[in-house]
Amino acid sequence: MRRFFSFITCIVITAGCSVSDNGIVNVKKRDNFSLIVRTPEMKIVSRVTVRKRNGTQEVFRHCSREEQNHGCKPFNSERTTLQIGNEAVCVTLLDASTRDEGVYDVEVIDNKSIRICRNFTVALTG
Ligand SMILES: *[C@@H]1O[C@H](CO)[C@@H](O)[C@H](O)[C@H]1NC(C)=O
Ligand SMILES: *[C@@H]1O[C@H](CO)[C@@H](O)[C@H](O)[C@H]1NC(C)=O
Ligand SMILES: *[C@@H]1O[C@H](CO)[C@@H](O)[C@H](O)[C@H]1NC(C)=O
Ligand SMILES: *[C@@H]1O[C@H](CO)[C@@H](O)[C@H](O)[C@H]1NC(C)=O
């Protein structure tokens, strides 16, 4: 029930910002934007990693409690929020600026080590 609720929250949050399925995210300066990865067949999300292709630097990492017990260290910034729903994982970055432009690789891994990877190209408009 809680997971279902977070997916609804994700929809509500992303309704007002720039979202795209084809990997292109056009966002206005100061708006929030979301990187959404559909995960319909995943039951338990163990890790979510977001890398920016400017040296493949990690900008966000989520580890489930079990993964943390295995040494995974979560990494976050104040501008990043995560929603894990039944159908999708949604990473939202707040207050877009030119430093956010670029290509992102998002990797979602479940507790059976099945991984889904998506890339997103973020560009500022206006
Ligand atoms: C971005 O998200 C934050 C936190 O949810 C919210 O307070 C703010 O109004 C949003 N900004 C825009 C431009 O929608
Ligand atoms: C890559 O982008 C991140 C997030 O925008 C930034 O914090 C980092 O300094 C950048 N790294 C390089 C090597 O430009
Ligand atoms: C993954 O989670 C599911 C659902 O809780 C569980 O049934 C399964 O045994 C878990 N698999 C592993 C490898 O931990
Ligand atoms: C993103 O992924 C798609 C398909 O998975 C691929 O065709 C495309 O070249 C990738 N884009 C970038 C910028 O890596």
For the entire predicted model, the pTM comes to 0.82
> Ligand 1: does its nearest atom lie under 6 Å from the Cβ of 94?
yes
- Tell me the CA–centroid distance for residue 10 and ligand 1, in Å: 13
pLDDT of residue 72: 95
What's the chain look like in SS3? CHHHHHHHHHHHHHHCCECCCCCEEEEECCCCEEEEEECCCCCCEEEEEEEECCCCEEEEEEECHHHHHCCCCCECCCCEEEEECCCEEEEEECCCCHHHCEEEEEEEEECCCCEEEEEEEEEEEC
- Tell me the CA–centroid distance for residue 7 and ligand 1, in Å: 17
Burial class, 85, CB count within 10 angstroms (exposed 0-12 / middle 13-18 / buried 19+)? buried
- Complete domains list, the chain, with CATH: 2-125 (2.60.40.10)
- Please give the structure tokens belonging to residue 57: 């630097």
- Tell me the CA–centroid distance for residue 8 and ligand 2, in Å: 31
> Ligand 1: does its nearest atom lie under 6 Å from the Cβ of 31?
yes
pLDDT tens for 18-48 read 455 568 999 999 999 999 998 888 899 999 9
pLDDT of residue 10: 53
pLDDT tens for 52-86 read 998 778 899 999 999 999 999 999 988 999 999 88
Give the position, in ligand 3's atom list, of the atom nearest the Cα of 43. 4
